[in-house]
Amino acid sequence: EAGVAQSPRYKIIEKRQSVAFWCNPISGHATLYWYQQILGQGPKLLIQFQNNGVVDDSQLPKDRFSAERLKGVDSTLKIQPAKLEDSAVYLCASSGRALALETQYFGPGTRLLVL
């Protein structure tokens, strides 16, 4: 079974530029999550999708971050414009259901550096 795929793996941009990350969850997984992991900290949830609908985006900085999951499969996360404090690893995860007991399967992450 293929795992969660993410691209690109690394990205370096200058502040005020825009950037987009892509995630392909495990086949059949209805729930998709985007996390931000700043160096030295644990991941923090940005947004959760159930199929193609948003379940929770309360911690997404909506003035600069946006995410979509068209057709309930792949997802993209965009930052526009980027700030220095956005430097982090962006993790995508998926699970079969949105239940609390469900295991979340993580992708390898995209490491973003904003200069």
Cβ pair 65, 19 in contact under 8 A: no
Task: Out of 11, 34, 36, 43, point to the residue binding other proteins (CB under 8 A).
Answer: 43
Among 52, 66, 108, 113, the residue binding other proteins under the rule CB under 8 A is 108
* Burial bucket for residue 13 (CB in 10 Å: 0-12, 13-18, 19+): middle
98 in contact with other proteins (CB under 8 A): yes
Q: How many Å apart are CA 76 and CA 13, to the nearest integer? A: 17
* Nearest alpha carbon to residue 91 among 25, 24, 37, 32: 37
The single residue among 29, 107, 112, 114 that binds other proteins, judged by CB under 8 A, is: 107
Interface region with other proteins, contact rule CB under 8 A, candidates 11-19, 61-69, 78-86, 102-110:
102-110
Q: Which residues bind other proteins (CB under 8 A)?
A: 3-4, 33, 40-45, 48, 55-56, 91, 98-101, 103-104, 106-109
